[in-house]
Structure 1
Amino acid sequence: MIGEVIPNIVRFHEYLIKRTDDRVRDYPLMQSPVQMTLILLGYVFLVLYAGPRYMANRKPYKLKTAMVIYNFCMVASNAYIVYEFLMSGWGTTYTWRCDLIDPSTNPRALRMIRASWLFYFSKYVELLDTAFFVLRKKHSQVTFLHIFHHSFMPWSWWWGITLTPEGGMGSFHAMVNAMVHVIMYTYYGLAAAGPRFQKYLWWKKYMTAIQLIQFIVVSVHISQYYFMEKCDYQVPIFIHLIWIYGMFFFVLFSNFWIQAYVKGKRLPAITEDKPKQNGFVSGSEAVAVPNGKHLENGTDHYTNGFALSAKIKEV
């Protein structure tokens, strides 16, 4: 039994290498699933074991300047990714309905492939979000949901880039996500810059609505596939996965919306030791800050728009 496992893994690996789209084969991290898997396993090991042990007897690093630079670099890179998605199809030739994968080597298709790969690569850069938490000894923020999100996204996107690098209608959610990240990292950058920038964060409460709209838009767009008379999208499994992913997080975020607004609570802000991670609240308690007050540390963090909270308290 065990003797058959390794040969089967080798055969599957060889199949993937042959199946990898020639147009993306030479891009970094695309030669084999082994590379990206080892990177992501190393990420999990560092943030769960090596990082906390290294910081155990050390004072937390401040990293204010590094965080400001990092966040605004992410703003610029995500804005560029959005621009490339628009210029390579979504703002030019795509119908926004049943847009098939273009297997050709025309300049537009190659530009879309580059945009998709840049989005994929940006997910590795976002691993620094967790590194900042570990180095600042915000270990309570490094939750299972945070780690799962940051490791699953680049892992799953490797398969998409390998099999369908041009993407077609399957790339829409990436463009929308990059748009949202422009807004989110702008907020993070200003918040990390210190209390003097709090007056520019009056729109903080709208972050919740932006995140909710993101998944409504993505889910509605991808749902068209199920109602079209005919759509010959070449790899429909990615359509199903995008729909499941969007609806799953839409349900989670809707629950947060109900807790924050329908039940009379203000949008929760997170304390210094219990922030949000790209949309998932890191921890079991969220603390609602009275209207008009702001956190001064600038570290409250969302994870792609989702906040999960077991308890909401008012201070």
Structure 2
Amino acid sequence: MASTRGGGVAVALRSAVDEGIRMITEPPRYDPRVDGWPLMDGPWTTIAAVAVYLYVVLVLGPRLMANQKPFSLRQLLIAYNAAQVIFSLFMFWEHLMSGWLLDYSFRCQPVDYSLRPQALRMVTLCWWYYISKLTEFADTIFFVLRKKDSQITLLHLYHHCLTPLETWICVKYIGGGHGTFSNLINNLVHIIMYSYYLLAAMGPEYSKYLWWKKYLTAIQMMQFALVFVHSAQVFFISCSYPRIVAAFLLLHSSIFFGLFLDFYCTAYSVSWQDIKARWRIKFLTNVIKKEKHQK
């Protein structure tokens, strides 16, 4: 049984590799529905935006702020975080109404390239999701202006550089389908995350409502675990969604899970031994409860 399952995984991984090679030798045709859409002509504008972002937050910004006092930006931060909550709510609702609450399958959902209103609604939503990742550059710029250098971590920069590029590819080639589940979950997480930032920006009198800060990182790790499991399904069933994209989502979610776990352990002084001990205690507790129930 185990050998059969292992053989199936090997075949699926081989299929993903073959798809990757085919994409290099025979580049896929872009989605004609996005012809003429802003920023969709080619990837260079997005690549340039990421390069400018890195220059501003790593070189220009720190240089200009070297002899300056940190800016407060309280009102601007309140407005920005409130806008991000509303934007995320809008996209979360659109993901549901474009498919995930209607006829999308959680097991396998191919991309619908048709001109059906629902399919067009989904690809339009993918474009808005891409735009949202460009607006999130402001997160880091605010850190620079407030001299919160400790917040500009490798995890933060990796996330803000990668997501605009991958979402551009999503809109250009695979606007819809199985992979948009990760967007749906990300929108939900961002509703929670930017709500926290909104409360934090409103001043110290609201600090009593921020006791759940520690759980933000745990929620983000849960996000990547869900995406990993959801994407992995494509390798075990017959599904016309590109396996190379599912493989990328597996890699992407694994890297982010590891980075967020490392951040969690560092920020809250939690060691691997602590994590193992907690899981061991939970396991033993469940075993004891089960034995008592059987008696």
With the length of structure 1 as denominator, give the TM-score of the two structures. Answer: 0.73
The superposition leaves residues 266-298 of structure 1 with CA deviations (integer Å, 9 ceiling, x where unpaired) of xxxxxxxxxxxxxxxxxxxxxxxxxxxxxxxxx
Counterpart for residue 292 of structure 1: none
What is residue 174 of structure 1 aligned with on the other side?
Answer: 183
Question: Does the residue aligned with 1:104 lie in a helix, a strand or coil?
Answer: coil
**How far apart are the structure 2 equivalents of 1:225 and 1:208?**
27
Identity of aligned residues (%): 43
- The equivalent position to 2:80 in structure 1, one of 70, 78, 89, is 70
Corresponding position of 1:225: 234
Counterpart Cα distance in 2 of 1:162 and 1:215: 23
Letter in 1 for 2:130: Y
What residue number does 1:213 align with? Answer: 222
State the distance in 2 between where 1:157 and 1:173 align.
11
Letter matched to residue 251 of structure 2: I
Partner of 1:249: 256
Count of residue pairs the alignment pairs up: 247
Partner residue in 2 for 1:280: none
* Residue of 47, 71, 84 corresponding to 1:61: 71
Which amino acid is 2:216 matched to?
M
Over the aligned positions, Cα root-mean-square deviation in angstroms equals 2.1
CA contact (8 A) 1:160 1:238 kept: no
CA radius of gyration, larger in: 2
1:184 match: 193
Q: Match for residue 22 of structure 2?
A: none
Shift of 1:158: 1.2
- Over 3 Å counting, the alpha-carbon distance change for 1:151 and 1:255 in structure 2 is closer
Unaligned ranges ≥5, structure 1: 1-14, 266-315
Pick closer, same or farther for the CA change 1:252–1:38 going to 2, 3 Å.
closer
Q: Is 2:224–2:256's contact at 8 Å kept on the other side of the alignment?
A: yes
Deviation at 1:97, TM superposition (A): 1.1
Of residues 160, 169, 172 in structure 2, which corresponds to 1:162? 172
Alignment of 1:101-140 (within 5 A): 101-140=111-150
Matched residue type, 1:241: F
Q: How does 1:1-315 map to 2 (within 5 A)?
A: 19-165=29-175, 167-228=176-237, 230-233=238-241, 235-255=242-262, 260=270
Partner SS state of residue 32, structure 1: coil
SS in 2 for 1:83: helix
* Larger proportion of helix: 2
Supply the distance in 2 between the matched residues of 1:210 and 1:56 (Cα, whole angstroms).
Answer: 35
Deviation at residue 223 of structure 1 after TM alignment = 0.9
1:203 & 1:100 partners in 2: Cα distance? Answer: 37
Higher relative contact order structure (alpha carbons within 8 Å, sequence separation ≥ 6): 2
8 Å Cα contact 2:155/2:260 also seen in 1:
no
Letter in 2 for 1:202: W
Q: Structure 2 stretches of 5 or more lacking a match? A: 1-25, 276-295
SS of aligned partner of 1:26: coil
1:9 match? none
Structure 1 residue 263, shift from structure 2 partner = 5.1
1:59-89 residue CA offsets vs partner (Å, 9 max, x unmatched): 2211011111111110010010000000000
Q: TM-score, normalised by structure 2?
A: 0.78
